[in-house]
Amino acid sequence: MARRPLPLPSILRVPPSLARGREAVRTAGEGATDVLHPLLVIGRGLRRQAGWVRGWWAQTPKDRRGPTLFMLAAGVLVVALLPYGVLLAGLGLMGSAAWSGRRRAAVPTGPSEAEEARLRALYESLVPHLSLPADPKPLYAHDGDWTRAFPSYAFEDGRLTRLTLRYPAYFTDGEPESRARIEQLLHVKAGRGREFRFDWQEEENRLTLVALPPLATDIVAQRFVTAAGEAILGFTDDADVRRTIPVVHGEGRRDAAPVVWRTGPRSPEPHLLALGRAGSGITTLLRSLALQALHHGDLVVIDGGGTGEYAFLTGRPGVLAVESGPVGALAALEWAGHETERRLLAVNRARQSGRPAPEDTRRPLWIVLDRPSALAQLSRVQGRRDPQASLEGPLRHGRAAGVTVALGDHLDAYEGLGAGLRARARARVLLGPATVEAARVVLGTAPPTTPPPRTPPGRGYARLGDGPVHRLQVPATPDPHDEETTEAHRRAVLALLPAPHPAVSMVKPPATPQRPVHDPAS
């Protein structure tokens, strides 16, 4: 006689209403089994917790596993000795397992209808550029499968923020023209009004498009945390550099990613050339560098435009001269050339005799020259020598002599600059709107990002030698004597200046710059 199976306890018995829908629940997936029984939820939670423990144990370094086991064993012993410790620990474990194994809301996968329409339109626009008629299995084809070409993507508020696309191996990704054509197309189709970064991975035939946030424009001139021989050109994206420094913006503080230019005898790029259109912030950049140079060096400023925007430096300790006319500029540059030779000879004599370099040769000397093309044109009209010829010595031997040259000029004057100046000023900055061809000429390569939709003053790109091209935002450093300068910015700039000489009045200078208190040519 067959024995009848024992009935299940009531707590484990499945209700008839749920038994009828068992098959439907099974097809719904693991997350829908919560309704069958609480023990299934706890069991699934214990399985997830066990997987988490295995992953954590695998990531734990081997030299730390012994102390970790000792601490765990000590904790278990303490819990076991406590009154009701085992019971409370078991209840806590069951509660956490039930929470971990609970049914979770289904996360929608795949793009929405509007997002899918945008991705398909982007895919169709790439077909003429990334396909060949002779390809038997084209990755890009009209009415093709766009999911094969776009392995990953991301949207935010209905706008594409990140896209990774595959392209066929025969695409000429090594040619700048081919890259520029695809980047321009993606920029137009992905949405104007934003700045995009393109990361080409030639080994894997992939291109990643990322929408970049605008750079902050609220950082003003201040005392930056830098070492001797370092100057902050501006600030860039956090992911592009390995270093951040604290900065003050308004009444708050935050960390920002700087573009650090290293100067001095150990710098591979000891001289700087900054170019841009009128109003792009070239003078602001040179003012910022001049204020930073005063903290640990001497300064000679030559204002080729004659606008008087450096007159606030006159008479300050460390400022050897502030010149704006051809006569004073030539005298200052000739003195700088003789000073470079003197320093170089003194350093060589000291090294030959086994002594350290003299003290007066170790203090950095900065030559800040704004608008050399305008100064050269004025010199030619007056029948004088081109002031750029006097820069040959500081540019050639400035690295060994501790002399740093920072020049700024209009973008249109680039071809008129001397060949030696363009060859030795390897730290480059390009500010303001510029074409891809102009950026390639000035920086040596095209920027990896599209032009910004709005170009505030001081916005551009920087490249140090053969390094990568960084987005750049120069800290606001206006002329404190300008009537349009806000009070907060005026105080920020004046706070960086050393106390003036007693003989110099603090009254605002007239519009025409005066001769400096100390003339380097004397």
**Same domain, residue pair 484 and 442:** yes
**Same domain, residue pair 273 and 371:** yes
Is residue 136 one of the residues assigned to a domain? Answer: yes
**Same domain, residue pair 318 and 357:** yes
**Same domain, residue pair 298 and 423:** yes
Give dist(CA 359, CA 295) in Å, integer: 17
Is residue 57 one of the residues assigned to a domain? Answer: no
Is residue 82 one of the residues assigned to a domain? Answer: no
Whole-prediction pTM: 0.74
Summarised one tens digit per residue, pLDDT across range 361-414 is 889 999 999 999 888 888 888 888 888 888 999 999 999 999 999 999 999 999
Give dist(CA 311, CA 309) in Å, integer: 6
**Same domain, residue pair 170 and 256:** no
Specify whether the CB–CB gap between 196 and 450 falls below 8 A: yes
pLDDT of residue 502: 62
The values of phi and psi at residue 280, to 5°, are -85, -15
Is residue 443 one of the residues assigned to a domain? Answer: yes
**Same domain, residue pair 245 and 186:** no
pLDDT of residue 146: 93
Number of domains in the chain: 2
Is residue 352 one of the residues assigned to a domain? Answer: yes
Q: Tell me the average confidence (pLDDT) per consecutive run of 10 residues in the chain, 522 residues long.
A: 45 41 42 58 82 81 83 85 84 82 62 90 94 92 92 90 94 91 91 88 94 91 91 93 88 90 90 94 96 93 89 92 88 93 93 90 93 86 83 92 94 89 93 90 91 89 94 95 92 89 46 40 38
The DSSP secondary structure of 309-364, one letter per residue, reads TTGGGTT-TTEEEEE-SHHHHHHHHHHHHHHHHHHHHHHHHHHHTT-PPPHHHHS-
Is residue 266 one of the residues assigned to a domain? Answer: yes
Specify whether the CB–CB gap between 463 and 478 falls below 8 A: no
**Same domain, residue pair 302 and 234:** yes
pLDDT of residue 100: 79
Summarised one tens digit per residue, pLDDT across range 49-72 is 888 888 888 778 777 888 888 888
Domain boundary among 185, 212, 239: 212
**Same domain, residue pair 272 and 130:** no
**Same domain, residue pair 468 and 321:** yes
Specify whether the CB–CB gap between 453 and 192 falls below 8 A: yes
**Same domain, residue pair 318 and 453:** yes
Is residue 24 one of the residues assigned to a domain? Answer: no
pLDDT of residue 501: 62
The DSSP secondary structure of 174-227, one letter per residue, reads TSHHHHHHHHHHHHHHH-SSSEEEEEEETTTTEEEEEEEPPPP---BS------
What tokens were used for 305? Answer: 């435009």
Give dist(CA 167, CA 207) in Å, integer: 8
Task: DSSP letter for 514, please.
Answer: P
Is residue 154 one of the residues assigned to a domain? Answer: yes
Which residues constitute the domain of residue 155? 113-212
